């Protein structure tokens, strides 16, 4: 593999001992702090995620991509990091779950690209024990530890106790206990546009972040080397128009997926089912991404234009690809956790019900005639359907059966979220007539 020359940029991977330590809040605060100081900041999210990147994009003012050694692949990760390093003064990568959780983990990503870890610790109920925690995080892998950000610090004295316990690892920043926090719901954070005064809140977090700029400047820049750009994708979707649902109910969408469709030659046309917009009349295919249809059941049930247009497209044999929330909106009925049931578009036989327990989580791969299409699943609902699946995804860690893949006429639907750059040819096939 031919590699291009290396480019350097100061970079850190913000990671913690577990979820719930405040990684996204701290990453957003640091991104906004650096951006407000005039630095060009690029932020990435480790692992599959839709919501955190939206918040981090709002905080940094730049698009946020996913990095994952399995789903995204090492070569594409290298390309994304090198591209960011050419235009940025700082690269922040938010980890996923705990530093060593998953295979590959955030620690694996750190070591693969030589990006040091910036440990985020919830110091709200500890003091000197912070030192033991951080040294354990560093030495278990081991990983290169750039420093620590202590979250939920009670006072300057508390911060000093934490700093003295770190034994040579710098305390780069502290964030006090928050009166206002980034709100959450069952799939993660609330979407940025739903938070009143979100920019003021991000500015407030940045101002409250006590940041050692000299320690930041002393960090050794990381060097990123990108492979030569891959060959241009064949224009498998040239001349085709794909209608993409995009509104508050259908927001879980990798930007890279849209770029792949455009690179394959497709023209993308966006529409809003929530606004009762009919499909664009010139649509040759339809993409219904995931999202929160369960939060908008009443509105989706009262959308005659949208529902009649998707049914008409289905009757004409227009290829329709629906992921997770998109699939839920095409079932016959959708029931919320409080028992309210709404009629949906009815293209897919079955009933979707929300539940308290997580029903699916983790990386998965969908077998296709074009090869493996990688992605993930994350949902709190279950579909009860008499329709037999045409395939199942595969869990890469065990080889076990994953999510069901359904086909009803020209509709293909699953809880599986695909990452199109992992196999552009397989992605293109989702939007072509089956005989093509």
CA distances (Å), origin 232, targets 235, 236, 264, 265, 428? 9, 11, 9, 11, 14
Asked whether residue 36 falls in the same domain as residue 66, the answer is: yes
**321 closest CA partner among 286, 275, 272, 290:** 286
Q: What is the DSSP string of 214-269?
A: HHHHTSPPEEE-PBPPPPPPP-TTTT-EEEEE-BTTB-B--HHHHHHHHHTTPEEE
pTM for the model stands at 0.94
> Does residue 74 lie in a domain region?
yes
Residues 22 and 158 in one domain: yes
Residue 212 and residue 215: Cα distance in Å, rounded?
Answer: 5
CATH of the domain at 24: 3.40.50.300
- Is position 46 annotated as part of the catalytic site? no
Q: Are 33 and 123 contained in the same domain?
A: yes
Provide the pLDDT for residue 185. Answer: 59
pLDDT score recorded for residue 368: 97
- Give start and end residues of each alpha helix (H) in 244-392: 255-263, 297-301, 304-315, 325-328
Are 93 and 121 within 8 A, CB to CB?
no
Final residue before a domain boundary, out of 198, 224, 250: 224
Please check whether residue 232 lies inside any domain of the structure.
no
Q: Do 350 and 218 share a structural domain? A: no
Question: Does 398 map to a domain?
Answer: yes
Is residue 279 within 8 Å of residue 237, measured between CB atoms? no
Position 2 in a domain: no
Query: Cα torsion at 396, 397, 399, 405 (round to 10°)?
Result: -50
Pick the catalytic residue from 9, 46, 77, 324.
324
Burial class (CB in 10 A: 0-12, 13-18, 19+), 386: exposed
Cα–Cα separations (whole angstroms), residue 181 to 14, 156, 198: 18, 21, 10
Q: Is residue 176 part of a domain?
A: yes
- In a domain, residue 323? The reply is yes
Last residue of a domain, one of 161, 190, 224: 224
Distance CA 52, CA 24 (A): 7
Select from 224, 258, 287 the last residue of a domain.
224
In a domain, 235, yes or no: no
The per-residue pLDDT string of the chain (436 residues; one tens digit each, 9 = 90 and over) reads 455 679 999 999 999 999 989 999 999 999 999 999 999 999 999 998 888 899 999 999 999 999 999 999 999 999 999 999 999 999 999 999 999 999 999 999 999 999 999 999 999 999 999 999 999 999 999 999 999 999 999 999 999 999 999 999 999 999 999 877 676 656 566 667 677 788 999 999 999 999 999 999 999 999 999 888 777 778 999 999 999 999 999 999 999 999 999 999 999 999 999 999 999 999 999 999 999 999 999 999 999 999 999 999 999 999 999 999 999 999 999 999 999 999 999 999 999 999 998 889 999 999 999 999 999 999 999 999 999 999 999 999 899 999 999 999 999 999 999 999 999 999 999 999 985 4
Element (H, E) at 35: helix 23-36
- What pLDDT is recorded for position 233? 78
**Domains in the chain: how many in total?**
2
| Structural domain contains residue 154 | yes
Q: Are residues 50 and 189 in the same domain?
A: yes
Residue 187 confidence (pLDDT): 58
Domain of 400 in residue numbering reads as: 241-429
Peptide bond into 179 cis (omega under 30): no
């Amino acid at each position: 593999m031919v590699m291009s020359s290396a480019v350097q940029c100061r970079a850190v991977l913000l990671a913690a001992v577990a979820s719930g330590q405040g990684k996204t809040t701290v990453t957003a605060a640091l991104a906004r702090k650096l951006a407000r100081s005039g630095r060009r900041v690029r932020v990435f999210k480790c692992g599959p995620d839709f919501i955190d990147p939206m918040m981090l994009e709002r905080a940094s003012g730049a698009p946020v991509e996913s990095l994952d050694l399995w789903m995204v692949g090492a070569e594409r990760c290298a390309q994304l990091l090198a591209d960011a390093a050419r235009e940025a003064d700082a690269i922040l990568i938010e980890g996923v779950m705990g530093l060593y959780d998953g295979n590959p983990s955030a620690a694996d990503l750190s070591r693969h690209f030589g990006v040091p870890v910036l440990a985020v610790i919830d110091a709200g109920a500890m003091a000197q024990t912070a030192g033991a925690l951080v040294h354990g995080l560093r030495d278990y892998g081991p990983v290169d530890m750039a420093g620590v950000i202590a979250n939920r610090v009670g006072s300057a004295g508390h911060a000093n106790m934490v700093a003295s316990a770190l034994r040579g690892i710098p305390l780069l920043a502290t964030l006090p206990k928050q009166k206002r926090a980034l709100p959450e719901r069952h799939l993660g954070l609330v979407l940025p546009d739903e938070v009143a005064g979100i920019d003021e809140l991000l500015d407030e977090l940045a101002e409250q972040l006590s940041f050692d700029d000299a320690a930041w400047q002393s960090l050794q820049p990381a060097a990123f080397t990108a492979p030569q750009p891959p060959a241009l994708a064949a224009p498998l979707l040239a001349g085709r128009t794909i209608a993409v649902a995009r509104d508050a109910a259908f927001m879980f969408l990798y930007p890279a997926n849209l770029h792949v469709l455009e690179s394959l030659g497709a023209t993308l046309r966006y529409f809003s089912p929530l606004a009762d917009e009919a499909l664009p009349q010139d649509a040759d295919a339809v993409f219904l991404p995931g999202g929160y249809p369960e939060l908008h059941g009443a509105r989706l049930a009262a959308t005659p234009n949208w529902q009649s247009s998707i049914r008409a497209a289905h009757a004409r044999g227009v290829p329709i690809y629906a992921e997770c929330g998109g699939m839920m909106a095409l079932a016959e009925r959708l029931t919320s956790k409080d028992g309210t049931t709404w009629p949906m578009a009815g293209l897919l036989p079955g009933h979707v019900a929300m539940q308290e327990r997580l029903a699916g989580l983790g990386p998965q791969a969908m077998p296709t005639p074009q090869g493996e299409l990688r992605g993930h699943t994350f949902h709190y609902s279950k579909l009860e359907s008499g329709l037999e699946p045409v395939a199942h995804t595969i869990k890469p860690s065990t080889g076990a059966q994953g999510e069901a893949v359904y086909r009803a006429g020209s509709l293909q639907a699953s809880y599986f979220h695909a990452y199109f750059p992992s196999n552009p040819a397989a992605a293109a096939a989702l939007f072509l007539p089956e005989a093509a």
